[in-house]
Structure 1
Amino acid sequence: MSTTRTNSSPMKGRLRLKSRSVLARVLDNWPAKVLSVTVAVLLTVFNSFARLEERSITVPLSVVLNEEYVPAAAHTEKVRVVVRGEPDAIDRVSDTDVEAFVDLSPYRSDGVHRATVNIARTGGALEENHLEIRVEPLEIEVALERRLVRRVPVEPVLFGVPPAGYEIASTRVTPPSIEIDGPRSRVEFITAVKTEQVDMSSRTEEFTTRVSLVNPDPFVAFRGGDTVEFRAQIDERIALATFDSVEIVVLDLDPDLIVLAPLPAGSVRVQARELDIERYQSTDVQLIIDAQGVDGPGTYTLPTRPDVPPGFAVLRFEPTEIDLVVGDEAGP
């Protein structure tokens, strides 16, 4: 039985020669090839970074506190946020899509505390995962102090006076007191809270209005709102006056009789609205003698009575009686 054998040595040799040739070509001038690949990678990265843009926005800084402590001094209220990414992605992020805050709730002692500024994404910033966001500054310091709540009275501040003839009868504020809230060292020194000025210069009747409270300290807050109701009662001013040199007038004397002795001047003390008193003079006030019962010549002691304008209240008058001397008109 004969066996046929195939000689594979020449084929294997050719494969080895080919592999060596490929390797030789790969390794030929390898430093230059490595440099070319590196440059290509760097160019790709550079181009990628070159397409990125930055936008800077300023956002308010929120402070998270516990119930026992509040800021006692001025601190950073706004921070700078830099957003970096593809132009289209940056354009889809609005200024309100990034929030900044510091968490001071763990601190429960008076003093200055340092805290990290944190960033929270909302809205469009949540959808753009490839955005790079950084904040400046990274940390801030906040002075904390124990909170104090205290009730103090409200004091209305009035400006001007009502027109002539009018006066402020009474004022009232509702509520008459409010609670203030803030750092203990600041709240302790506030004994009252004043309102903004209320102009009284043109008021002639009762009125009610809302008026703002004036905050005496920027670190103190008003619990329950910053306005109160102000009510004022405006009355006409009542005045007292004395009318002197008042004429005494005899009424209903018989036409055949005449007054022989001259009559004195009288005086009348009255109470009335100030505006009314200013409008009248002594000639507008009289003392009246009723001579209807005089039936012949002689001397008669008769009472007087005041005659005053409407709205006048007579407090006193003089004389209260007169000795009236009368005689015949034709004479003795």
Structure 2
Amino acid sequence: MRTIWRILKMKFDFKDKKKFYDNIRNRILTDINIKITCFILAVIMYVLVSFSQLSEKSFTKKINIKGMKGDFVISNNLPDSVRFVIKDKKRIIERVSEDDFNIVLDLSEYESKGKGTYLVKLQWTYPKIMKSFFSGIEVSPEILSVTIESIKQKNIPISVPTFGNVKSGYMIKERKVNPSEVRVQGPESVIESITSIDTEKIDISEASESFERIVKLNNNSNKIKVVGPADISVFYAIARKTETKTFKVKKVTVNNLNQKFDYSIENLPLNITLSGSETIMSAITENNIYVSIDVSNANIPGEYNYRDFNIEVPADVNVVTVVPRTLIITIEDKN
């Protein structure tokens, strides 16, 4: 400091203040254009050198959504996260991480506007150490198209997809789904377009016995919320495939007829319809059907109507219908 003061005393005459200030002013204003130009060039060079020494780092950050009212919901697909690139001096870049940033989609101002489609600019926050002139951040995408709709609920039926086939010769006789429908909630346009909701697929390959499965709903839409039970009970009744055939039976055995009588049956043949598995039914003929009737009450000659007659068929075969249902038997004396 003393040295600087001696130099100033040598250069300027401090006894004459006016002369002193004039000297200072003259020295400053001399070649002022050149001095200003040099100063500007120095600043530019500083900035250029500083920017050339900047480092950058990129992150992927999840978008935080705030400001949505309870009776509205976003109905279009938005990216879960955005990519952003930060630029700053290397020593700053090395000190920051993804957790130091926050990307926000603020929908607060759209509460009063209600449903519609809006272009909303994302907002973000810097860490404090990135507040310099050289700090920068680029977010992609920076503006999102957001569609806001009213929330709606409705009941829709539950659909149960399957894969595979039951064992040959068997069939699904009945299927029970409990509950048979479920309540869903979501954007009005999405809910209106839904006609059913699937469960997980059920394997019925080679099934030959009835079974029950507990499955989950297969909700593939992130716009739909299921309001109800998560577990669905599905019962399958598995039975043999049945075939129905009608046979014309002309032979009827009459039992307990008094030996002094003869008989005749007027309304034969009987059309007997049977049902059973395909394998069994394919082997049945009229000869496998035995029809008998008890006429022990026929004590005198005459015409008798019988509805109660016995029909015997092979095992696992059912009698479906008999036509005619009444047999007319005429009893008469032997000659």
State the TM-score, normalized to the length of structure 1.
0.58
Secondary structure class of the residue paired with 2:155: strand
Q: CA deviation at 1:83?
A: 0.7
Task: Trace 1:248-263 onto structure 2 (pairs within 5 A).
Answer: none
Larger radius of gyration: 1
Query: What is the root-mean-square deviation in Å for CA atoms of aligned residues?
Result: 5.1
Structure 2 CA distance, aligned partners of 1:42 and 1:233? 85
2:10 paired with 1:18: yes
- The answer to whether 1:85 aligns with 2:77 is no
Number of the residue aligned with 2:239? 235
Using the aligned pairs only, state the percent identity.
20
What's the counterpart of residue 165 of structure 1? 169
Which residue does the alignment assign to 2:118? Answer: 113
Going from structure 1 to structure 2, the CA distance change for 1:20 and 1:97 (only over 3 Å counts) comes to: closer
User: Does residue 152 of structure 2 align to residue 148 of structure 1?
Assistant: yes
Which residue in the other structure is 2:106 paired with? 103
Q: How far off is 1:223 after superposition?
A: 3.8
Query: What CA deviation, in whole Å up to 9, does each residue of 1:212-247 have, x standing for no partner?
Result: 4365x7744434587744332222334455788999
Paired letter, 2:240: E
**Change in CA separation of 1:270 and 1:139 when aligned onto 2, cut-off 3 Å:** closer
**Counterpart amino acid of residue 52 in structure 1:** L
Q: How does 1:284-323 map to 2 (within 5 A)?
A: 285=288, 308=314, 311-312=316-317
In structure 1, distance between residues paired with 2:289 and 2:48: 111
2:197 aligned with 1:193: yes
Amino acid of the residue matched to residue 193 of structure 1? Answer: I
Determine if contact 1:204/1:235 at 8 Å carries over to the other structure.
yes
AA partner of residue 165 (structure 1): G
Q: Deviations over 1:264-295 (max 9, x none)?
A: xx9997654444545x5659958699xxxxxx
2:70 maps to which of 67, 70, 73: 67
Separation in structure 2 between the aligned mates of residue 168 and residue 282 of structure 1, nearest angstrom? 28
Change (3 A) 1:172 1:134: same
Once residues 142 and 133 of structure 1 are traced to their aligned partners in structure 2, the CA distance between those partners, rounded to angstroms, is: 23
SS in 1 for 2:167: coil
The one-letter code matched in structure 2 to 1:118 is: Q
Cα distance in 2 for partners of 1:153, 1:209 equals 17
Q: Aligned equivalents of 1:305 and 1:111: distance in 2? A: 74
In structure 2, relative to structure 1, the CA distance for the partners of 1:314 and 1:57 (3 Å cut) is same
CA distance, structure 2, for counterparts of residue 152 and residue 246 of structure 1? 56
Q: 8 Å contact 1:213–1:228 — kept in the other structure?
A: no
Q: Which segments of 5 or more consecutive residues in structure 1 lack a partner in the other structure?
A: 1-13, 249-265, 290-302, 321-332
Deviations 1:36-78 (A, max 9, x none): 6665555444433322122344444343322111123455655
Correspondence for 1:213: 218
CA shift in 2, pair 1:91/1:176, >3 Å: farther
Confirm or deny: 8 A CA contact 1:149 1:182 kept in the other structure: yes
Q: Indicate if the aligned counterparts of 1:211 and 1:229 stay in contact, CA closer than 8 A.
A: no
CA distance in 2, matches of 1:88, 1:181: 50
The answer to whether residue 170 in structure 2 is matched with residue 178 in structure 1 is no
Number of aligned pairs? 272
**2:95 and 2:173 mapped to 1: Cα distance?**
63
What amino acid maps onto 1:192 in structure 2? S
CA contact (8 A) 2:216 2:231 kept: yes
Change (3 A) 1:92 1:208: farther
Q: Secondary structure at the match of 1:188?
A: helix
Paired letter, 1:181: Q
For 2:224 and 2:123, how far apart are their aligned partners in 1? 26
Change in Cα spacing, 1:16 to 1:184, as seen in structure 2 (3 Å) is closer
Task: Give the TM-score normalised by structure 2.
Answer: 0.57
Give distance in 2, aligned partners of 1:146 and 1:36: 63
CA contact (8 A) 2:115 2:147 kept: yes
1:46 & 1:75 partners in 2: Cα distance? 39
CA distance in 2, matches of 1:271, 1:79: 67
Taking the aligned partners of 2:234 and 2:321, their CA distance within structure 1 comes to 40
- 1:252 aligned partner: none
Change (3 A) 1:246 1:96: farther
Q: 1:171 to 1:286 in 2, by over 3 A?
A: closer
SS in 1 for 2:171: strand
Query: What is the letter of the counterpart of residue 18 of structure 1?
Result: M
Gaps (5+ residues) in structure 2?
A: 1-5, 15-19, 253-269, 293-308, 328-335
